[in-house]
Every structure is written in structure tokens, then in C-alpha cells.
């Protein structure tokens, strides 16, 4: 396959930004392509991340869309680097860019698999749990910033309920289910929510119990995105995305091993129910019915 048509994480993100700029400019893709001497299909493929963008095309489009200054310079720089597949760490940018990156892959994935060692997966978190994570772990104090981030994370969760929702498999370390983020009342509600979500046809939740030996999950949390039939991308904390075949194969083996060690679906539900009732007893609030 020629470099022009290599698909990389960078090219998809660049394509998404070009589409956003075009829409903000109120311009149709066919018209934009005509003005820079490109076919409508090329504009479509670039925006969808199916075709590697060329610097001269991106420069022409940014001129049409009246994108100037640092935003233009940054996108052109990233375009020059887009032909380099593999390990990529996005540049140090505001929180919104990291959010855009992860949201892009969640929305395009046909299946998502994740292992979480310390926290409940973001797509399965309740509002009180997210707020507690922001305050207690993120150490955020600005109420508006906390509210913005909570709203953004809740919006991302819609991907699991849309018409093209991906299959979603979450392997959660029992430690994450026991960590009292936000206190007993928050955790009992969070566990109750996990039990509800596990009933969805596209969602599977497996609990990794406390073991008497080491396991691959000790190497850290990760999220695996499958896009289409043949493409996989792995996200690891630190805003690092992996797409080289050896890396993907390594995380595939890791995920398979963790699934083999995890409790089955029914046993996972029972374990979450036990823990929810433990938190309920600790909270000492008679208004909350025990999970059954």
C-alpha cells in the first residue's frame, strides 16, 4: 500500500479537524475540492481518515476555511508527521484535544475492549463517581471546570446506546470496585449502575478477582478499539496510541489472558452485587434498597 493511503491515528484526527473547519465555514466538500483541484471523493476520504492528507491540500483547505495563526501552523506540522505510523504521543495541548482524540475512536469503533486496574471505566461511570474522581484524584477545585468535564464524559457514554453502538467488554479489577471513590454511597450507586449496564446486549462486564499470583493487568490499564474488520488501536494512559502490529498483538494476548483469569459474567454480577451490598451496609442509609 502506498504511503498516501496508509491509515494512521494522526490522519484520522487531522481529517476530523478539517471536516470541523469546513462545516464551520459553511462549505460543501465538493465545492472545497473543486477550489483546490481535488476530487470530492478525495476530500471525503481525507476527512474520514481513509486517505493520508497531503500538506499542500491541507494548506489550501485551511486557506479556504480561513484558519490562520497557531491553529493553522499546528495542523500543518501534524500533517507533515502523519506519514509516520506507530507509537504516537499527541503534543501537549489542552484537555479538549485529549477529549477529542478519545471520542473520535469511541465513535468509530465497532468494538471496544478495556482493562481498568484502579477505576471504573469512563464509559460506565455515574455522575457522582465522575465528580469524585475529578475532585479526589484529579484534585480539581474549580466547580465550572469539574462540571464541564463531567458533562463531557457523560456525553461520551452515548456511544454505547446509539444505533451503531459498538460491542463493549470491560475487564475491571476487583480493586477498582472496592476503592471507595466518593465514599460508600457513591460506590453503592456506581456498582448498582454497573449491574444495570451489564444487562445490555452489547455490554459485557467481567471482574478480575484478587489473585494469589501476578497477572498481565499489573502492567497497567488500556483500551482497545477495533475499527472496521481489520484495524485495531490501543490507548494507554498518558495519551499514547499504539497501532503497530507487534504492539497490537501484545495487547491482544494481554486482553485474552485477563479474560481467561476473570470471573464469568454471572459470577461477576454476583461479586458486584456482594460489593454493592457491602457499601450499602457501610453507608448505613435505609433509603437505599439492597441490590439483589
Tens-place pLDDT, residues 55-71: 899 999 999 999 988 88
- Asked if the domains at 3-81 and 95-283 fall in one CATH topology, the answer is no
For domain 3-81, give the fold: 434 Repressor (Amino-terminal Domain) (1.10.260)
| Residue 86 in this model has a pLDDT that exceeds 60 | no
What is the pLDDT at residue 15?
Answer: 83
Cell of 33: 475540492
**Domain definitions of the chain by residue range:** 3-81, 95-283
Beta strand extents in the chain (DSSP E only): 111-116, 167-173, 203-208, 222-227, 231-236, 240-242
Say if residue 286's pLDDT is above 50: no
The predicted structure's pLDDT at residue 8: 60
**pLDDT tops 70 at residue 3:** no
Give the model's confidence band at 161: pLDDT under 50 very low, under 70 low, under 90 confident, else very high.
confident
Percent of the chain residues topping a pLDDT of 90: 46
| Predicted confidence (pLDDT) at residue 208 exceeds the cutoff of 80 | yes
Options 1.10.1060, 3.30.870, 3.30.930, 3.30.450; which CATH number does 95-283 get?
Answer: 3.30.870
pLDDT for res 142: 86
Of the chain, the end-to-end C-alpha distance in Å amounts to: 55
- Most confident range (mean pLDDT) of 14-23, 40-49, 177-186 is 177-186
Closest CA to 205 of 112, 72, 81, 87: 112
CA pair distance 83, 7, nearest whole angstrom:
9
Average pLDDT (86-93) is 49
pTM of the model: 0.69
Amino acid at each position: 500500500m502506498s504511503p498516501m493511503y496508509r491509515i494512521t491515528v494522526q490522519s484520522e484526527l487531522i481529517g476530523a479537524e478539517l471536516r470541523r473547519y469546513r462545516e464551520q465555514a459553511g462549505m460543501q466538500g465538493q465545492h472545497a475540492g473543486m477550489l483546490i483541484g481535488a476530487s470530492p471523493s478525495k476530500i471525503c476520504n481525507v476527512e474520514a481518515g481513509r486517505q493520508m492528507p497531503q500538506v499542500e491540500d491541507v494548506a489550501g483547505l485551511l486557506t479556504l476555511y480561513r484558519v490562520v495563526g497557531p491553529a493553522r501552523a499546528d495542523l500543518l506540522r501534524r500533517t507533515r508527521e502523519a506519514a509516520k505510523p506507530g507509537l504516537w504521543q499527541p503534543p501537549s495541548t489542552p484537555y479538549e484535544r485529549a477529549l477529542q482524540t478519545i471520542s473520535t475512536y469511541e465513535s468509530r469503533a465497532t468494538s471496544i475492549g478495556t482493562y481498568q486496574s484502579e477505576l471504573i471505566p469512563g464509559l460506565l461511570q455515574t455522575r457522582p463517581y465522575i465528580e469524585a474522581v475529578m475532585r479526589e484524584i484529579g484534585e480539581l477545585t474549580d466547580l465550572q471546570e469539574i462540571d464541564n468535564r463531567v458533562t463531557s464524559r457523560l456525553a461520551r457514554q452515548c456511544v454505547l446506546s446509539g444505533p451503531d453502538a459498538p460491542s463493549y467488554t470491560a475487564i475491571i479489577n476487583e480493586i477498582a470496585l472496592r476503592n471507595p471513590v466518593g465514599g460508600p454511597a457513591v460506590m453503592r450507586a456506581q456498582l448498582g449502575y454497573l449491574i444495570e449496564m451489564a444487562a445490555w446486549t452489547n455490554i459485557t462486564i467481567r471482574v478480575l478477582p484478587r489473585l494469589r499470583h501476578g497477572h498481565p493487568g499489573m502492567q497497567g490499564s488500556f483500551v482497545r478499539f477495533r475499527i472496521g474488520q481489520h484495524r485495531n488501536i490501543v490507548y494507554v494512559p498518558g495519551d499514547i496510541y499504539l497501532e503497530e502490529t507487534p504492539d497490537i498483538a501484545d495487547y491482544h494476548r494481554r486482553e485474552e489472558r485477563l479474560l481467561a483469569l476473570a470471573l464469568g459474567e454471572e459470577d461477576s454480577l454476583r461479586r458486584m452485587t456482594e460489593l454493592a451490598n457491602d457499601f450499602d451496609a457501610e453507608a448505613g442509609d435505609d433509603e437505599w434498597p439492597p441490590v439483589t
